[in-house]
Amino acid sequence: MKELHVIDSHTGGEPTRIVVSGGPYLGGGTVAEKLAVFRSAHDRFRSAVVNEPRGSDVLVGAILVEPSDRSCAAGVIFFNNVGYLGMCGHGTIGLIATLQYMVKIRPGEHRIETPVGIVTATLHEDGSASVKNVPSYRKKKGVTIELRGIGAVTGDVAWGGNWFFLVENHSWAIELGNVDQLTEVTWRIRQAVNAQGYPEVDHIELFGPPKVKRAKGADSRNFVLCPGKAYDRSPCGTGTSAKLACLYDDGKLRPGQVWRQESITGSVFEGTVEASGGHIIPTIRGRAYVNAEAKLIFDPADPCCWGISAS
Ligand code: PYC
């Protein structure tokens, strides 16, 4: 019977389950090459780790791999209920908390190899982590789609390590009690955006006024629909990176100025940008907590051994 050792954490309410040992051998290439091997030869492990009955649609999974770049502390591949993520901001903050829990890192800077490039994460003395993400940019401003029964919806297409469609002007309330409506409408937005020539977009982000009235406050509140139709409980690190790219392009955020992005659950990420040619380099800061450590057991006699999935 096969066994995998996993460590669970959550970052601003969004869970991450990291396979720290026992995973399949993915070859000796770069993390992008290892992802290609994982996807083509071992995809059932992805489903087994995150899907029911061991997981749920909300869970983001990750597998720790050997980095090809020796300057990196770790390599990581992120995945979810339907596939793979290029980068994952909340997951990287979760990874840093997990590596600290495993006593593999101490406060300071750590380079992490992902399939879409190397990111630098800093573990701070207070337990929070900052992730200097991959270069992010807005691809297209002001794309309008038509939704039957709703009308025109306008947003921006931007990259922050994953592809997003970001909508600022709308009338939906970003409230936990409204998640079913938000999920339905963002799912429809995604299909319309994909059909309009942006098939790469697989995350939809709605923005509204902030709710958190803490000392530091927040600048904005969001709802983020992930590719497998679950919503992000955190403000979404890659989604906040895409937002920062749009704000910077619009002249609404200066390098070094802090943007506080609140999630629909009330958790907050802080973001700043550095300008870099036509792109920005975003840094996202948040806090993760390790909340479980377990052995996943793969019994070949179990009909649900590889997870329940639609595909
Ligand atoms: O934090 O980047 C993120 C993320 C992507 C999907 C879920 N969380």
Percent of residues, the chain, with pLDDT higher than 70: 98
How does pLDDT run across 41-93, given as a tens digit for each residue?
999 999 999 999 999 999 999 999 999 999 999 999 999 999 999 899 999 99
Banded model confidence at residue 214, pLDDT cuts 50, 70, 90: low
Pocket test for ligand 1, best of 58, 79, 224 (most atoms within 8 A of CB): 224
Cβ 268 vs Cβ 12: under 8 Å: yes
| Closest-lying ligand 1 atom to the alpha carbon of residue 160 | 2
- Tell me the average pLDDT of the chain: 96
pLDDT of 310 reads: 77
Q: Residue 211's pLDDT is what? A: 83
User: What pLDDT does 278 receive?
Assistant: 84
Protein residue with its CA nearest to atom 5 in ligand 1: 88
At 117, list the tokens: 């490039």
Interval between CA 232 and ligand 1 midpoint (Å): 7
Other CB atoms within a 10 A radius of the CB of residue 49 amount to 23
What confidence category does residue 1 fall into, taking pLDDT thresholds of 50, 70 and 90? confident
Strand 259-263 to 220-225 pairing: parallel
Does ligand 1 lie within 6 Å of residue 230's CB atom? Answer: no
Q: Is 232 in the pocket of ligand 1 (CB under 6 A)?
A: yes
CB 205 within 8 A of CB 224: yes
Q: Residues with catalytic annotation?
A: 88, 236
Tokens representing 226 are 């992930």
pTM of the full predicted structure?
0.96
Supply 92's token pair: 């990287």
- 3-state SS of 35-75? HHHHHHHCHHHHHHHHCCCCCCCCCEEEEEECCCCCCCCEE
Ligand 1 atom closest to residue 241's alpha carbon, by position in its atom list = 2
301 CA distance to ligand 1 centroid (A)? 34
What is d(CA 4, CA 113) in angstroms, rounded to the nearest whole number? Answer: 22
Residue 179, both tokens: 């998640």
The answer to whether 63 touches 23, Cβ cutoff 8 Å, is: yes
For residue 35, pLDDT beyond 80 = yes
pLDDT at 127 over 60: yes
